Amino acid sequence: MRWFKLLLSAAISLLLIWALNRPWGTMPFAIGEFINPFTGFWQNAEPANLQAGGQLSIPGLKAPVTVVYDNRRVPHIFAQNNDDLYFAQGYVMARDRLWQMEFQILGASGRLTEILGVGPDSSILKFDRTNRRKGLVYAAERSYEFAQNYPEVMDAAEAYANGVNAWISSLKPADLPLEYKILNYKPQPWTSFNTWILQKYLSNMLAARADDIRNTNALMVWGRNVFDILYPEFAYAEDPIVPADTRWDARTANPKPPVPAEYKPDSILKKPASAFLPQPDPGLGSNNWAVAGSKSVTGNPILSNDPHLGLSLPSIWYEMQLHAPGVNAYGVGFPGGPGVVLGFNDSVAWGSTNAGMDVMDYYRVISDEKEEKYFFDGEWRPFTLRLETHTIKGGEAFVDSVKYTHYGPVIFDENFGSQPLPLAINWMAHEQSVDMLFFLKMNRAKNYHDYEEALKYWVCPAQNFVFASRAGDIAIWQMGKYVNKWPQQGRFVMDGTQSVYQWSSFIPSDQQPHSLNPERGFVSSANQHPTSSVYPYYYNGGFEDFRNRRLNQLLSEKEKYGVDDMKNIQLDNYAVFVADILPLMMQEVDTSGFTQMQREAWNLLKAWDYNYDRDQAAPTIFENWWEELYRNIWQDEMDAVGLPVPWPDRSTTIGILRDSAAFTFYKDATDSLKKDRKSLINRSFDRITGKLANDFPSISEWIWSRHKQTDIHHLARVFAPFSRLNIPTNGSGHILNATGNRNGPSWRMVVALGDKVEAWGVYPGGQTGNPGSKDYDAFIDDWANGKYYRIWFMNNKDQDNGSEAARLSMIPEVKTNPN
Amino acid sequence: MKFTIRVICIFGLGYLATLWFPWWSVAAVGFAVGLLLSEKRKRRRLFGKQPTPPRTFLAGFLAVFLLWGVFAFWADWQNHSLLSEKISRIVVPEGNIFLSRAWIMILVTAIVGGLAGGFSTMTGNLLGEMVRGQEKD
């Protein structure tokens, strides 16, 4: 009996400990480990009155470094040399954002299965395979090799990595960021190579736009005439980045290469392809501009920038000041890389928007039976094989062998995307480059000349870099390496067997779209066409057609602009898009048979000033109506194709609606009530008012912010409580205040140059990535309410304006000599 | 008296152990204390004190319940329940307002620790009794 009791008790004890020490079901963590207050999640419950200061002795530093944290937890780093500066930057970024830094790198290098497994329906493995097959790691390796020639960059990345590793090695299990504890894995040592992966992550986010496959499908299905109507290269109204009246000297321009003699883009694929990569969200866009001293109330240039990116927690940006001999820069940077990316120093300010250029082209490859060689200019060339090993949590490794041509990797073939004819990509992100040098040089730039010098290093992703200097210059350059293309080159899948289809030469960098001190007194960009059609080179891409017109209009209205004007422009909610189409839509509606509720909705639209204010119902009514109308025009035809084809964009649709009361695509074979513009518009209005009334009985429930739902998700979507959902915001993607459902202004910045630089900024997140800290989402409400923080730009480490919250002294660890 | 000593020993040694060792070291401490503070098994009395196993279980449970509960409470109090609130919403299925509370996380923490402490202390004690009991027989 006693034996029995003992054995029973021992068995229960062991079973309990065993059960608490292993993951169960979908929970990746062990309960005992996760829940105990000494090493588990309780350790991440950051005390509300955290003091980040103190004194630390750290191996690897050359001289003492002071980090002043202000009351928004922004570190102001004061170092005595560049190595220490980037070391300390790596250290403080890792301290606040380690998990995010590593997670982004794992994502970009296609290694998420290592920590998450293959995911539902193998979705995570597919994501990883896509990134590997796009050659992101291959691209990073090539650039990393190239960067060895640029010690300035290599040293910064090495010092940064050393700083990150100094932080990692100081961590005990209890100190690990929460996500490691939940997902139950450990950080790996950080390498300088990761910074190159980060650069390619940006290219993948911003320069992977390539609709070649879908365009080719559309061309094959509809023929050239219809294709040109559905996908025109210029919209009905354009206000390009470089003022339209700028003259380009066609004589100094390199001639366009000739169009290949037998160019038939509709016969390169035997049949339309079913494989294609998801295209970047159209909400990814940005605004930037600078007004000259002559147009500013301060008499000095004022620069503004608000990059619109996918919103996430932790935020893509980290705010900081970097001070060392020869540099004093402030702004935001990417967790994972050295330097300030968007910001200012005592002499200049800079910002960027995405160029939207198509710099990824597809080539159809003909391979031999054994799939070892491909045909090119009359001979067989061997593929280079790259074996991509996917380590999978809780499973066996998966090996994907990716064939490389001289263009780049074969992304789709029978093994991936069920594509019978292999498709290879040639992508500017694969070019060797040291783009990061642009940031390091801008951090130290004194004038326009330094800016021009820094631009030379920027290859991909192509950006519109706006610039302003204390000396009074304002400028904008669209920078990135561009192919000198023959007309339409790269719009459709090309023939990979002939050299005439290859990229042959590049546009000389001094002839890229740019504008320096234009007469109108401002430079601006909002992801629109960089130039008018008189630009001597051919380019294609995805360009925004609405925000730019509003921006340039607002910047032309007044004699002089102050800082508040700049903020008001960033927060402007007026929709050019609505002004372009709603009057026509309303004019077509037959109001005679209106219900009470339709009448109410109608009156709201009539009284509307086209501002997307969060508490208005009119934007909700319009957006629903437009969506319904847009779907009613295109959906039946697009669905009938049964293959990926691009949907015509909004401005094209508006252009067609305005020009044509009747159009083949208006008709619907299954719905006799839809036959022309008038019937479509009426029918869609009836439908959406019915649907809205059904979903929300009272019009007061139709307010825009509730309909739009701005959600900022945690980077790993699985943790709902770490996200901030349903944030009430104004604006929409096609509006200057481009706050949508999941995208929006990821950093709003206004910099007034002068003897004393003054700046304001805010981003939708918080400095720390710890969901257990009150600072995790500290800026979101102010951001949503259109507030800005006055930036504390320090001159020296002992300056005090009452904003200092903590001071961290980092001292080189001296190895004591025994004896 | 023995009861209080057990509780204090497990609480103190358990705290020290978790500074260096994984979470389950608290169970090892419970086992060791149960073993070392055991005595020869007495003949069961009809009246008076309860039999030992439940009491030693209670001592181990209480010690670790208090140890984990107090430290979890302290962390939570300093954190204004910000994190425990979020974790409770990950762990507990959506919508249950009663369970989505910070104090539930503290209670769950304390109970999980308490169970590990209770069973291991009881096991240690039973083993100790057996060893000591056999010495005399």
> What pLDDT digit, counting tens, does each position of A570-591 carry?
999 999 999 999 999 999 999 9
3-state secondary structure of A416: strand
- Of the listed ranges A253-262, A340-349, A668-677, the least confidently predicted one is A668-677
What pLDDT score does B41 carry? 60
Q: Which residue has the higher pLDDT, A105 or B93?
A: A105
Does A272 score more than 90 pLDDT? Answer: no
- Taking the CA of residue A695 and the nearest CA in chain B, the distance in Å comes to 22
Q: Say if the Cβ atoms of B126 and A772 lie within 8 Å.
A: no
In the numeric block, which tokens belong to residue A696? 């929300």
Q: Say if the Cβ atoms of B86 and A9 lie within 8 Å.
A: no
- Of the listed ranges A394-403, A644-653, A734-743, B36-45, the least confidently predicted one is B36-45
What pLDDT score does B137 carry? 40
Cα distance between residue A257 and residue A522, in whole Å = 34
> Could you tell me how far CA A540 lies from the centroid of its own chain?
19
Q: Which residue has the higher pLDDT, A800 or A362?
A: A362
Determine contact: B12 vs chain A, CB below 8 A.
no
Q: Say if the Cβ atoms of B115 and A36 lie within 8 Å.
A: no
Cα nearest neighbour of A27 on chain B: B91
What pLDDT score does B94 carry? 62
What pLDDT score does B48 carry? 46
Amino acid sitting at position A557: E
Q: Is the dihedral of CA B25, B30, B32, B33 positive or negative?
A: positive
- Beta carbons of A415 and A400 less than 8 angstroms apart: yes
Please report which confidence band the pLDDT of residue B19 belongs to, taking 50, 70 and 90 as the band edges: confident
Q: What is the ipTM of this complex?
A: 0.91
Determine contact: A768 vs chain B, CB below 8 A.
no
Query: Which stretch of DSSP H or E encloses residue A527?
Result: none
Cα distance between residue A225 and residue A204, in whole Å = 32
Question: Looking at the partner chain, which of A38, A722, A773 has a beta carbon nearest the beta carbon of B23?
Answer: A38
- Of the listed ranges A431-435, A664-668, A786-790, the least confidently predicted one is A664-668
Cα distance between residue A391 and residue A764, in whole Å = 34
Query: Which stretch of DSSP H or E encloses residue A698?
Result: none
Cα distance between residue A212 and residue A358, in whole Å = 9
Does A249 score more than 80 pLDDT? Answer: no
Does A240 score more than 80 pLDDT? Answer: yes
Please report which confidence band the pLDDT of residue B50 belongs to, taking 50, 70 and 90 as the band edges: very low
What pLDDT score does A420 carry? 86
Q: Say if the Cβ atoms of B75 and A37 lie within 8 Å.
A: yes
CA–CA distances in Å: residue A752 to residues A341, A352, A521, A639: 18, 17, 15, 51
Work out the average pLDDT over A137-161. 97
What pLDDT score does B88 carry? 86
3-state secondary structure of A322: strand
Cα distance between residue A528 and residue A522, in whole Å = 16
- Burial class of residue A269 in the structure, from the number of CB atoms within 10 Å of its CB (0-12 exposed, 13-18 middle, 19+ buried): buried
Percent of chain A at pLDDT exceeding 90: 81
Work out the average pLDDT over A737-759. 95
3-state secondary structure of B120: helix
- Beta carbons of A761 and A750 less than 8 angstroms apart: yes
pLDDT digits (tens, 9 = 90+) for A472-529: 999 999 999 999 999 999 999 999 999 999 998 999 988 999 999 999 999 999 999 9
Backbone angles phi, psi at A17, to 5 degrees: -65, -40
pTM of the model: 0.94
Does B1 score more than 70 pLDDT? Answer: no
Does A414 score more than 70 pLDDT? Answer: yes
Work out the average pLDDT over A69-98. 97
Determine contact: B83 vs chain A, CB below 8 A.
yes
Q: Say if the Cβ atoms of A47 and B26 lie within 8 Å.
A: no
Q: What is the average pLDDT score of chain A?
A: 93
* Dihedral Cα A803, A327, A88, A184, nearest 10 deg: 90
Cα distance between residue A335 and residue A103, in whole Å = 11
pLDDT digits (tens, 9 = 90+) for A612-632: 999 999 999 999 999 999 999
Cα distance between residue A516 and residue A242, in whole Å = 10
Q: Choose among A81, A101, A77: nearest CA to A89.
A: A77
Q: Say if the Cβ atoms of A38 and B19 lie within 8 Å.
A: yes
Work out the average pLDDT over A542-571. 95
pLDDT digits (tens, 9 = 90+) for B72-101: 999 999 999 999 989 988 776 665 666 557
Cα distance between residue A400 and residue A620, in whole Å = 46
Give me the sheet containing A342-345, strands edge to edge.
A54-58, A804-812, A65-70, A75-78, A318-324, A327-333, A342-345, A348-354, A463-469, A474-479, A514-516
